[in-house]
Structures are given as structure tokens and as C-alpha cells.
Structure 1
Amino acid sequence: MFSRKSTAERTAAEAWDYLSSAMASAGESAKDAGKITAGLAGAKAAELAGKASKSGNKLAGKASRQSQKLAGKAGARMNAATEEAWNRAHLAANALAGRKPGLPWSLILGASLVGVALGWAAATTVRAAAERRAENEQLELAETAIVVTPTYDN
């Protein structure tokens, strides 16, 4: 009949079920994509190897390198997509569990180091300018100084 759960609890439970099924299907999709990619790369390699056997060893090496490149590119794309899907799924799971994301300490530390470097550069520049100003004032005083020598009457 009627459930005693509140609307928020029902919504959270539905979201959790949806997230769980989405994570499972994402894993299955990633596996299927990997199998398809490997199959296509293998078929392309076999096709190129067949052509290479007619043309000689030179083309066999080229076919091998090309199939490795294709497999590497496909693997990299799949890994990037899979990693992004897992990251998003974990963020969603943490949000549903009520956990807040952590602070980006590397970004905070980097900004602090940049601030320290800029402050040091500004302080050094101001200090050098003050020293130059003092030297210029000393030279100006030396140029305009009147030397008074006492005279002695004998």
C-alpha cells in the first residue's frame, strides 16, 4: 500500500537504483566497446597483413605499425571515455551519499606559489628602484655641493 518513507527518501532510493544500473551498463558498454575496437583493429591488421604478404616484408612492417597505431588510438579513446564515465559516476554516488567534494589542494597550492613569486618579484623591483633613487640623489648632491675652504691670514 502506502509507504512510510518520505518523498526525499523515495527520490534518493530511486536515484541510487538509477545510478547503480547506469554504472553497471557503463561498465558493460565499455567492455563491449573494447571488444569491438579490438576486433576492428585485428580485422584491419589481418587485412593489411594479407596485402603485405603479396607485397613483401616491407609492407608487413608498415601494416604492423599501422595496426598498432590504430589499436593504440582506439584504446586511448576508450580509456578516456571510460575514465570520464567512472569519474562522473563516483561524483554522483558521493553526491547521493551526501559527501561533499574535497578541496582542490593542488590548485590552492599552485596559486599560493604564484602569489609568493609575484610578491618576491615586486619587492625586489621596489628595492632596486629605491636604491637607484638614493644613488641618483647622492650624485646630484655631490655635483651641486659647494666646497668651502677656510682661508688663513698670515
Structure 2
Amino acid sequence: MFSRKGKAERTAAEAWDYLSSAMASAGESAKETGKATAGVAGAKVAELAGKATQQSQKLAGKASRRSNKLAGKAGARMNAATDEAWARANLAANALAGRKPGLPWGVIIGASLIGVALGWAAASTARAAAERRAENEELQLAETAIVSTPTYDS
């Protein structure tokens, strides 16, 4: 009853809708995580700063460094997760749009350079072996050569 084209189009439309909602929810989730992380880091900073002012100026500096480090770690984790989510979402969107991924030129060039280096090393080794073989043959000929001097009868 339904043609293949209609079914394929419906499947693609459903996939597109799912991807769009997933990207939107990933963005919202990233925003909420950022706000929550900032709130937790801010609360931790406030708590550590309160203790530090009670104890001494030295402890205040230490607490500030520690809270910055904790906030930095939390931010780095959030950024890594957000970057991964966006990269995957973009790959999926490109696949649904029919765009093929680009060639990994860095890997291709790197493999080519390694191949050239290995070829050069093999050629140099073969050339050196051929030269040694030629020298050994010359030495063997020189050792086994019979020197004969002609005798003249007068």
C-alpha cells in the first residue's frame, strides 16, 4: 500500500525530528549542567572563602587556588562532554543530509611520510649490502688470483 519512497521519507523525517530534539535537549542539558556546576563551585568558593577569612590571609589564597582548580576541572569535564555531544550530533545531521565525511588528510599524509622514510631506509640498506658484497668478491678474487709471469727462452 505504501511505496518505498514514502516509507524512506517518513523514516528520514522521524530521524531528523529525533536528532533535532536530541540536539536541543543536549544544549539545554549543557546549559543546566553549567548553571549547576557554577552554583556548586560558587557555593564551594563561598564556603572556603568564609573559612579562610576566619583562619588567615594565607589560607584564603590557598582556598582560592583550590576552588579555581575545582571549578576548572568541572568546566573542563562539562566542555568535553558538550564538545563530544555536538560533534556526534553534527555527524548525525550530516549523515541524514547525505553529506559524506571528509578524508582524514592528516592520517594520509602521515602514512605517506612514514612510507617514504621506510622506503629510503630499505634502499640505503640494500645499497650498502650490495657494496659490501662487491668488496668481498673483489677480495676473494684478489686472494685466489694466480700471478704468472711469462718465461722467455733465448
Residue matched to 2:48 = 48
Deviation at 1:152, TM superposition (A): 4.7
1:85 counterpart = 2:82? no
Residue matched to 1:115 = 115
Q: C-alpha separation between the residues in 2 aligned to 1:69 and 1:127?
A: 58
1:137 counterpart = 2:137? yes
Matched to 1:136, the amino acid is N
Deviation at 1:148, TM superposition (A): 2.1
The superposition leaves residues 4-23 of structure 1 with CA deviations (integer Å, 9 ceiling, x where unpaired) of x8111111111111111111
The superposition leaves residues 53-84 of structure 1 with CA deviations (integer Å, 9 ceiling, x where unpaired) of 12212211111111111111111111111011
SS at match of 2:140: helix
Q: C-alpha separation between the residues in 2 aligned to 1:84 and 1:21?
A: 17
Q: Percent identity?
A: 82
Deviation at 1:118, TM superposition (A): 0.9
User: TM-score, normalised to structure 1's length?
Assistant: 0.89
Q: C-alpha separation between the residues in 1 aligned to 2:24 and 2:8?
A: 24
Residue matched to 1:17 = 17
Q: C-alpha separation between the residues in 1 aligned to 2:46 and 2:152?
A: 114
Q: C-alpha separation between the residues in 2 aligned to 1:71 and 1:14?
A: 39
User: TM-score, normalised to structure 2's length?
Assistant: 0.89
Deviation at 1:119, TM superposition (A): 0.9
Q: C-alpha separation between the residues in 1 aligned to 2:61 and 2:125?
A: 60
Q: C-alpha separation between the residues in 1 aligned to 2:91 and 2:7?
A: 23
| Equivalent pairs, count | 151
Deviation at 1:124, TM superposition (A): 0.7
Structure 1 unmatched ranges of 5 or more: none
Residue matched to 1:29 = 29
Q: C-alpha separation between the residues in 2 aligned to 1:145 and 1:58?
A: 91
Deviation at 1:150, TM superposition (A): 3.3
The superposition leaves residues 23-48 of structure 1 with CA deviations (integer Å, 9 ceiling, x where unpaired) of 11111111111111111112112211
Matched to 2:122, the amino acid is A
What do you get for the CA RMSD once the two structures are aligned?
Answer: 1.8
Runs of 4+ in structure 1 off by over 3 angstroms are 150-154
